[in-house]
């Protein structure tokens, strides 16, 4: 259970807003999420995905700020696009976001139903066979949960650092869905690593021991900022992209970007493992680390530019953060 990540606020008048959110708003939101999730578990995979798409489009129409952010990003990435094309991509984004949530109900079926095509497997199998530590730099493009299933499908044991979700009830839904997926994966299932201060130390231990690969998402949204790609913003010594580079540098790990492209309007995916991004040894100074971050950032940006409507972070990306 993941509730230890969500301690209750103290019972003080000054904490009344936090208490209201914790004991009233979060449970109500959790119930609103849980009911459709349970209903979709009973549906065939494509039906759950399609239902999610309808929910996503409906929710997107109500999220004016998020929609404006997507439009701004699309104009940055597609300057030649007409207004009609921008609006079509915006609708595709919200439908895709909804599909991803709907597909949580069916994650455990993806492999058995043959919904995952893998390309570039040699980029992760090669380092494993050579005994080299491996970091898979996951991206939230397409359905990111497919990266977990694809690694298990290839027989690669791995640990995954997951992201803390806005409330404990949504986190429970995700945790249980991933648990069902892990059960279906068998012995190659992911070992979940909680997003605590000790997560990076555990990641370093796993890589040094070479007992498993590490799956680490580098385009995370945290504290109001999407850390990668930079998309014109100054690079920072911050975020998962920096930590992934430093882990690769200190352990000699191969750093392999990965994303699961959605194929059409369906729950079918092409999982891409890209060539490893070269990272130099540690101890070379800040400028060299920033060069390595920039190299990984360029790969992330190319993927986002190719599939902006499938980038989950599009509706929270802000160019000034």
Sequential pLDDT tens for the chain (321 residues): 566 777 888 898 988 898 899 899 988 888 888 888 788 788 999 999 999 999 999 998 899 999 999 999 999 999 999 999 999 999 999 999 999 988 988 888 888 899 999 999 999 999 988 999 999 999 999 998 899 888 888 888 888 877 777 778 887 877 777 777 666 656 555 666 666 666 777 777 888 888 888 898 999 988 889 999 999 999 988 888 999 999 999 999 999 999 999 999 999 999 999 999 999 887 788 888 899 999 999 999 999 999 999 999 999 999 988
> Residue 67 is encoded by which pair of tokens?
């929609």
State both tokens at 134. Answer: 């491996």
Q: What share of the chain is helix, strand, coil (3-state, %, to 5)?
A: 55, 15, 30
Distance, in Å, from the CA atom of 171 to the CA atom of 163, rounded to the nearest integer, reads 9
Threshold 0.85, pTM exceeds: yes
d(CA 242, CA 232): 17
Please identify which residue in the block is written with the tokens 């892990």. 182
Q: Is 259 helix (H, G, I), strand (E, B) or coil?
A: strand
Q: What is the DSSP string of 227-296?
A: -S--TTSPP-S-HHHHHHHHHHHHHT-EEEEEEEEE-SSSS-EEEEEPPPPP-PPS-S-HHHHHHHHHHH
**Across the strands, what pairs with 138?**
217, 258
Residue with tokens 């509706």: 315
């Amino acid at each position: 259970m993941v509730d230890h990540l969500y301690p209750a606020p103290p019972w003080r008048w000054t904490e009344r807003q936090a208490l209201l959110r914790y004991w009233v708003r979060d449970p109500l939101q959790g119930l609103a999420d849980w009911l459709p999730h349970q209903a979709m578990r009973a549906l065939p995979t494509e039906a759950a995905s399609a239902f999610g798409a309808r929910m996503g489009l409906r929710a997107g129409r109500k999220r004016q700020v998020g929609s404006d952010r997507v439009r701004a990003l699309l104009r940055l990435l597609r300057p030649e696009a007409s207004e009609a094309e921008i609006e079509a991509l915006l609708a595709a984004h919200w439908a895709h976001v909804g599909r991803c949530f709907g597909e949580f109900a069916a994650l455990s079926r993806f492999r058995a139903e043959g919904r995952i095509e893998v390309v570039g497997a040699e980029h992760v199998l090669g380092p494993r066979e050579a005994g080299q530590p491996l970091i898979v730099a996951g991206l939230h493009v397409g359905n990111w949960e497919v990266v977990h299933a694809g690694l298990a499908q290839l027989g690669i044991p791995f640990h995954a650092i997951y992201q803390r979700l806005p409330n404990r009830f949504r986190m429970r839904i995700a945790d249980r869905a991933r648990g069902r997926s892990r059960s279906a994966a068998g012995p190659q299932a992911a070992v979940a690593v909680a997003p605590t201060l000790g997560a990076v130390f555990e990641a370093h231990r796993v890589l040094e021991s070479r007992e498993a690969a590490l799956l680490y998402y580098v385009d995370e949204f945290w504290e109001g900022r999407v850390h990668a790609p930079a998309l014109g913003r100054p690079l920072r010594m911050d975020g998962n992209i920096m930590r992934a580079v430093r882990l690769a540098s200190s352990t000699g790990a191969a750093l392999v970007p990965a994303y699961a492209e959605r194929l059409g309007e369906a729950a079918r995916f092409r999982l891409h493992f890209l060539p490893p991004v070269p990272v130099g040894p540690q101890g070379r100074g800040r400028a060299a680390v920033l060069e390595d971050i920039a190299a990984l950032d360029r790969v992330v940006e190319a993927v986002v530019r190719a599939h902006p409507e499938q980038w989950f972070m599009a509706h929270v990306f802000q160019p000034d953060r």
